[in-house]
Structure 1
């Protein structure tokens, strides 16, 4: 075993996480297509899709937990003699098992993409639940809710809109994450860029993808081609 081998293994795990994220996005897209198809019997299929996305969330959590533990121990061992590497595997396994035992399945429902799945499907189902009397009322309600498709940071149309659960404002994913990262590097809080908003500490944990808004933007763009 060597430090380079450990780093290569971690890189492989991170690649797996990217694949898991892509798979979760595919599950979400299928769920949204199913809801928008207006099929009367889709509750069973939606339940299956939710179970699948929770499975992916669990895998993502396990990889994240394992990688963090390995990186922590790897940093400690790198300051010691090479012989210390031989005990790394047992130490990682022990702490990983302890950490996973302390986690609950209920926490998986807080995974960002699981939250996006539930909110996206829930929002798309609202007309079926009688919250909009007809398509015209729905369009009016959505127009009032979203105002426009413009990101307050880029002043351009959003591609991947993110909703702030604290103040209910929207930003494009790339722009908001870049700004949060930049401010954190300066050890400063990031204030919501929407004029008049009193939210002075926007964090990545506050953000969730808005799938319904994203699909409306995509449909609007497609109709303009």
Structure 2
């Protein structure tokens, strides 16, 4: 390692951090899926609290990794831009001077945690509504309104649901992205295909995976 060029060392470090970032995203996905299962099957609330605490910890890890990546990228850019020599390690530490002060309490306002808690709230509402309809206290059974699972584009059950951040409607991911690409190719605006929706300017960036709907669809399929 001592003979490696600094640029190579930095690239190796960045590659390792990006790999760590992907691993963190997988952990977040797993924590979310497990917690949704816990809510679905009416597991002891203390277990759900443990999962929420674990998500705070993971959000902190993810936040720090993001900061490390940003700091390395900035040092890399400084090396290319600045004429005068400087100590890369000192500059790196300077960019990270406040990162150790981050705490799990700070993570309660982090987008990762806020999104996670939003998904849990949505799941609680869905389970509460549909369990009441089914007269079942063991958690969600089968949605009485199967239209919630039907893509307005394909008219079949959604397999990979995405939600429109702007209007809240759901679609089959491949179908809606193809629709957006097709319309934008002809320089046309894209209207949400849900009947009655007034959102008239859809973009790929408006879409995000809907873990709650994915979970409900999977559970419904298992219970058929």
TM over 0.5: yes
7, 11, 16: which one aligns with 1:12: 16
| Aligned residue in 2 for 1:59 | 61
What are the equivalent positions in structure 2 for 1:180-219 lying under 5 Å apart?
A: 191=190, 193-194=192-193, 197-200=198-201, 202=203, 204=205, 207-219=207-219
CA contact (8 A) 2:163 2:208 kept: yes
In the alignment, structure 1 residue 143 sits paired with structure 2 residue 146 = yes
Structure 1: runs of 5+ lacking an equivalent = none
How far has the Cα of 1:46 moved from its partner? 0.6
Quick one: distance in 2 between partners of 1:123 and 1:31? 12
- Structure ranking higher in helix proportion: 1
| Aligned residue in 1 for 2:161 | 161
SS in 2 for 1:162: strand
| Aligned residue in 2 for 1:28 | 32
Quick one: distance in 1 between partners of 2:77 and 2:95? 15
Q: Deviations over 1:37-74 (max 9, x none)?
A: 234xx211111101111211111111112212211220
How far has the Cα of 1:193 moved from its partner? 4.7
CA contact (8 A) 1:166 1:199 kept: no
In the alignment, structure 1 residue 126 sits paired with structure 2 residue 125 = yes
CA contact (8 A) 2:161 2:172 kept: yes
Quick one: distance in 2 between partners of 1:176 and 1:101? 42
Structure 2: runs of 5+ lacking an equivalent = 137-141
- State the number of aligned residues: 208
CA contact (8 A) 2:192 2:199 kept: no
CA contact (8 A) 1:119 1:210 kept: no
Moved more, 193-202 or 6-15: 193-202
SS in 2 for 1:167: coil
Quick one: distance in 1 between partners of 2:128 and 2:81? 60
